[in-house]
Amino acid sequence: MKIEVTQANLSRALAMMSRVASTKTELPILTNVLVATNEGGVTLSATNLEVAVTHFASAKISTQGKVAVPARLFHDFISQLPKDETISLVLEKNKLVITAGSYSSHIQSVQAEDFPALPQIASQQEVSIANEDLSRNLTKTVLAASHDETRPILGGVYVHSFNKKLYFVATDGYRLAEAEVTPIDFDVSAVVPAQALQEVLKMSQDGEEATSTLSFGDGQFAVSAGNTQLVSRLVDGTYPEYRKLIPETSEISFEINKTEFQTAAKLAGLFARESGGSITISASEDEQTVTIASVASQVGDNKSAVASKVKGSGDVVLNVRYLNDALNCFEGDEVSFRFGDSIAPCVLSSKKQPGYQHIVMPLKS
């Protein structure tokens, strides 16, 4: 193998490879990136068996070939090189010789033949999404996925169709985020691991392409954007019927300035450390005011009153961390907040973001 490639092209591709390549040493081969020449360029691949990514970069090919080298080290080396360098990669015996101007290195390689076959998706159905929409909707949903490994189904994002629209939904049992993403003309129901979608999020933000194509196959999910493809296995199992849990209407509701609500929540959070983040939100229709309060017996207490458009009166106790996370998902100046008795879910939404809602379960007060 003997090729020349620009630092910019190689560095960007390797950033993704080094994130996806496994860091676990049980399967050492997976810590590598596979570099293989093609017509007019080079294909880089990495996988951790759950997620696989491939990227084709333009390159000048003098001699065809392929090699696997440690992804992290290869990325760290290339990313330190000057941005305007052309990099030469030559396979000499079992070492990859990297030369860029006066900088050079030999990296011990492993047999490319030992690298596992990458999953291919037999795509049955595809939908295209503007990367701007993909990025915005992933950001606002994937944060709600669970990190609890005992319930793997909640560690995924539920990517599904409903009434001819594609939705992303994630929940950890304490809060839930639902985004209506785009019209769709086929039925789909897939639970995609959050880690794979975190990588898709980076692809949609870093890439130069305007759109991505989502593909759904048997037990697999793929995203393609330009020269980059990601394939992920799906999470086994049936996603909870979450729609039943979201109340259609609530007894109490208010429209509130987002910044003031955020400030009040952060202040309350300072006094909620010993109570595990528990703060009380009280709506008063008479006073057209929302009060956010918390108490720390040894330390002090806190109360903020924010003038709001309030319908109905009542209290609810929430975990301040989930409230802060939820408020960060809204872009406009105003947020709508509705709730019922002390155990009914709280629903946050915004007129500026139709199709998006964020649910926070109350704490028992």
Give the DSSP per-residue string, 251-274: SEEEEEEHHHHHHHHHHHHHT-TT
The runs of H, that is alpha helices, within the chain are 7-20, 71-80, 131-142, 194-206, 258-270, 320-327
Is 311 near its own copies (CB under 8 A)? no
Report whether 144 contacts 176 (CB < 8 A). yes
- Residues 6+ positions from 130 with CB-CB distance below 8 Å: 210, 211
Both tokens of 281, joined, read 């939100």
CB 178 to its own copies: min, Å: 30
Per rule CB under 8 A, count of chain residues that contact its own copies: 32
Task: Name which position in 38, 58, 63, 104 contacts its own copies (CB under 8 A).
Answer: 104
- Name the residue nearer to its own copies (CB basis): 267 or 323: 267
Task: Name which position in 263, 324, 328, 336 contacts its own copies (CB under 8 A).
Answer: 263
The runs of H, that is alpha helices, within 182-235 are 194-206
CB 263 to its own copies: min, Å: 6
Task: Name which position in 183, 300, 332, 355 contacts its own copies (CB under 8 A).
Answer: 300
Task: Name which position in 38, 299, 342, 355 contacts its own copies (CB under 8 A).
Answer: 299
Is 261 near its own copies (CB under 8 A)? no
Q: Which of 228, 220, 324, 214 is nearest to 17 (CA)?
A: 228
Is 298 near its own copies (CB under 8 A)? yes
Q: Which residue has the tokens 């209407």?
A: 249
**What track of x and - describes contact with its own copies for positions 69 through 88 (by CB under 8 A)?**
-x--x--xx--xxx------
CB 69 to its own copies: min, Å: 9
Strands (E), 93-227: 95-100, 103-108, 125-130, 156-162, 165-171, 175-183, 189-193, 211-217, 220-225
Give the Cα separation of 350 and 310 in Å (integer): 15
Q: Which of 358, 352, 307 is nearest to 332 (CA)?
A: 352
Q: At CA 137, angle to CA 132 and CA 141, rounded to 5?
A: 155
Is 23 near its own copies (CB under 8 A)? no
CB 233 to its own copies: min, Å: 31
- Name the residue nearer to its own copies (CB basis): 80 or 365: 80
Report whether 333 contacts 257 (CB < 8 A). yes
Task: Name which position in 170, 194, 234, 264 contacts its own copies (CB under 8 A).
Answer: 264
- Name the residue nearer to its own copies (CB basis): 153 or 306: 306
Is 102 near its own copies (CB under 8 A)? yes
Is 202 near its own copies (CB under 8 A)? no
Is 354 near its own copies (CB under 8 A)? no
CB 79 to its own copies: min, Å: 10
- Name the residue nearer to its own copies (CB basis): 56 or 261: 261
CB 258 to its own copies: min, Å: 14
- Residues 6+ positions from 219 with CB-CB distance below 8 Å: 233, 234
- Name the residue nearer to its own copies (CB basis): 2 or 266: 266
Is 321 near its own copies (CB under 8 A)? no
Partners of residue 97 on adjacent β-strands: 90, 106
Is 303 near its own copies (CB under 8 A)? yes
Neighbours of 362 (CB within 10 A): 20
- Name the residue nearer to its own copies (CB basis): 99 or 227: 99
Q: Contact positions toward its own copies, by CB under 8 A?
A: 70, 73, 76-77, 80-82, 95, 102-108, 260, 263-264, 266-267, 270-271, 298-307
